[in-house]
Amino acid sequence: MSNRESNTVYSRIAGTGGYLPERILTNQELEAMVDTSDEWITSRTGIQQRHIAADNEFTLDLAEHASRQAISNAGLQTSDIDLIVVATTTPDQVFPSTACLLQSRLDIHGCPAFDVQAVCTGFVYAFSVADKFIRTGTSRCALVVGAETFSRIIDWTDRNTCVLFGDGAGAVVIQAHDAPGVYSTHLHADGDYASLLHVPSGVSNNLAAVQEGRAYVEMSGTEVFKMAVNTLGRIVDETLEANQMTRDDVDWLVPHQANLRIINAIAKKLNLPMEKVILTVAQQGNTSAASIPLALHEGITNGNIQRGETVMIEGFGGGFTWGSALLRY
Ligand code: ACO
């Protein structure tokens, strides 16, 4: 029996939205802040600029802009949303969750709303969870958001990290549908690698780390780079095999935008020319959980990704966490 003939429920993207703060920080400006150069940043990462939230602008504000646009682009009302999942590492408050605060902003009441924390893989995790809520019939119309003000957990005197990250939010509305939609999602983590990419302070153990001045992102860049390339290479195979597809079946790659060289390696693995890869890293830098939905939104709004085409999304981040999804737009 084909998927179409079965009663299986799938989730399908109904609309996307994105928001970037107005303030742009260029590589040239960073040259005046730390010992770096536009040439080093561009050649090692592909990043030319990033957006930085204003002092009075928070993750929730970014999430609200992106969400309203995604709901409107889906041709829906806020009252149609029956699940909210927000991926963020930079929530406005310890609690309530950013998802609950967003629910109130959108004047939605009663539906489940919660945050997911998987750093740069956060959106893939949130998307996978929401997809499962829809597949099991628990939800019919989910708002999935990746939103970050990563600039708030960056040490702006540390050239190893401050050149890489930016702020932003992306949102996707997924709805129940009788055909894919989302073919499969794949999530992984290995906490043994926690110390290679982390913020050592938190809530429970905050005091000592903050007193030591360790309240910001610390990264062993080269180790993270190697692991990201190897791990993402493997997950590409896993995702294709799970759907009995080959590299030729993939029309678009929408990767997490950490580093152009990592993205190049994955595109090569998929045998995809770079014209078939949605790239925002040059203009936005690494916006952590926001980068994949922002790239998806860009690929759809600029007319590249068309209905019926097959899209692979993938990400890698702190934890380590990594994940992918294969879907028909
Ligand atoms: N400007 C100039 N020099 C710099 C800068 C800078 N901004 N940053 C580091 N360097 C120096 C280092 O001090 C080091 O110098 P040394 O050799 O004298 O010690 C040297 O550059 C390192 O150079 P490379 O080995 O060429 O660095 P590499 O090619 O590994 O690139 C980078 C570094 C860009 C950080 C890369 O490793 C990377 O992108 N890593 C992965 C980041 C990532 O994917 N993170 C995952 C997601 S993030 C998340 O989950 C929060």
pLDDT of residue 16: 98
Indicate the domain borders of the chain: 10-179, 183-328
pLDDT of residue 26: 98
pLDDT of residue 65: 98
209 falls in which pLDDT band (50, 70, 90)?
Answer: confident
For residue 187, the Cα-to-chain-centroid distance in whole angstroms is 13
Average pLDDT over residues 84-105: 98
Average pLDDT over residues 122-129: 98
**10-179: which CATH architecture?**
3-Layer(aba) Sandwich (3.40)
Token pair 């958001």 is found at: 145
41-62: burial string, b at 16+ Cβ within 10 Å, e else: beebbbbbbbbbbeeebbbbbb
157 falls in which pLDDT band (50, 70, 90)?
Answer: very high
5 burial (CB, 10 Å; 0-12 / 13-18 / 19+) is exposed
- The verdict on whether 120 is a catalytic residue reads yes
pLDDT of residue 5: 47
pLDDT > 70: percent of the chain: 98
> Would the pTM of this model clear 0.75, i.e. be above it?
yes
Ligand 1 lining (C-beta closer than 6 Å): 36, 40-41, 44-45, 119-120, 159-160, 163, 197, 221-222, 224-225, 228, 258-259, 262, 286, 288, 316-318
Average pLDDT over residues 4-21: 89
Catalytic residue of the set 120, 141, 259, 297: 120
188 burial (CB, 10 Å; 0-12 / 13-18 / 19+) is middle
1 falls in which pLDDT band (50, 70, 90)?
Answer: very low
204 or 45, higher pLDDT: 45
202 falls in which pLDDT band (50, 70, 90)?
Answer: confident
Do domains 10-179 and 183-328 share one topology? The answer is yes
Average pLDDT over residues 224-234: 95
Angle between helices 38-45 and 260-269 (to 10 degrees): 20
pLDDT of residue 50: 98
- The protein residue with its alpha carbon nearest to ligand 1, atom 20, reads 160
Dump pLDDT digits (tens) for 263-304.
Answer: 999 999 999 999 999 999 999 999 999 999 999 999 999 999
- pLDDT of 2 higher than 90: no
CA distances from 51 to 24, 169, 290 (A): 4, 11, 12
Nearest to 169 by CA among 38, 58, 265, 5: 58
Per DSSP bridges, beta strands 83-87 and 113-116 are parallel
- pLDDT of 6 higher than 70: no
The lowest-confidence range among 2-16, 60-74, 120-134, 242-256 is 2-16
Assess if CATH 3.20.20.70 describes domain 183-328: no
Dump pLDDT digits (tens) for 113-125.
Answer: 999 999 999 999 9
- The verdict on whether 198 is a catalytic residue reads no
Output the CA 261–ligand 1 centroid distance in Å. 12
